[in-house]
Amino acid sequence: MSRIWKLPIILPTWVTAKLDNQVITITWPKWSLSFKFVTDVSVKIEDTTITVKLVNENAQDHWGTTRAIIANLVTWVTEGYKKSLEINWVWYKFEIQGQKLILSVWFSHKVEKDIPQGIDVSFDEKAKNVIHISWIDKQKVGQFASQVKMIKKPEPYKWKGIKYQWEKIRRKAGKSGKK
């Protein structure tokens, strides 16, 4: 069984942590993230380390989850989080105009998707069919990437659609596959 939940979280330079009741706030000079944890665990901040202890012995699942979320907050504040979407088909295109993502995915109209506040959307310089969605909050990045992907889900017969860059789509044989 893993014992990661017992390890302290070490804060990098320029990162500060503040504890207020049951809310911990991780701050970097550019931005900050906060998390409200349950009363079954206690969080202690000492200089550049954060330790998470268990208060209620019956709630061990909260211990590891709280420690993991706080460690992720430290990572996201310093490095950020990024998802890449790939569009597959000859006539499918992405465009960015201001705070709108415009998709041409073979509908009778172009689909406009508002980019949420703070999220950065950019194109890949090398591959024209790849778009990068990044920000410090993993939940917001994942939510927006999922919404964009659902506009035109990838289909297994011709592989056309919008998919995550790492995603593998199993190719299905069409009608000729019965032979």
Tokens representing 169?
């789509």
Q: What is residue 91's three-state secondary structure? A: coil
Distance CA 19, CA 171 (A): 51
Q: What is residue 11's three-state secondary structure? A: coil
DSSP H or E segment with residue 95: strand 93-97
Which pLDDT does position 132 carry in this prediction?
A: 94
Query: Could you report the per-residue pLDDT of 94-140, keeping only the tens digit for each?
Result: 888 989 999 888 888 999 999 999 899 998 888 888 999 999 888 89
Distance CA 75, CA 112 (A): 32
Least confident span in 83-87, 96-100, 137-141, 170-174:
170-174
Which pLDDT does position 179 carry in this prediction?
A: 57
- Strand boundaries in 15-67, DSSP class E: 16-20, 23-27, 32-36, 41-46, 49-54
CA 87, 105, 94: angle at the middle one, nearest 5? 55
Domains and CATH numbers, the chain: 4-79 (3.90.930.12), 81-164 (3.90.930.12)
Which pLDDT does position 106 carry in this prediction?
A: 82
Q: Is residue 177 very low, low, confident or very high in pLDDT (cuts 50, 70, 90)? A: low
| Ordered strands of the 81-88 beta sheet | 120-123, 130-135, 81-88, 161-164
Q: Is residue 15 very low, low, confident or very high in pLDDT (cuts 50, 70, 90)? A: very high
Which pLDDT does position 6 carry in this prediction?
A: 82
Q: What is residue 113's three-state secondary structure? A: strand
Which pLDDT does position 113 carry in this prediction?
A: 92
Which pLDDT does position 141 carry in this prediction?
A: 94
Which pLDDT does position 28 carry in this prediction?
A: 87
Q: Does residue 105 contact residue 111 with C-beta atoms inside 8 Å?
A: yes
Q: What is the mean pLDDT of residues 66-90?
A: 89
Per-residue CA distances from 112 to 22, 27, 66, 100, 163 (Å): 40, 34, 37, 6, 18
Q: Is residue 2 very low, low, confident or very high in pLDDT (cuts 50, 70, 90)? A: low
Query: Could you report the per-residue pLDDT of 30-76, keeping only the tens digit for each?
Result: 888 999 998 888 899 998 999 998 888 877 778 888 899 999 999 88
Q: Does residue 90 contact residue 158 with C-beta atoms inside 8 Å?
A: no
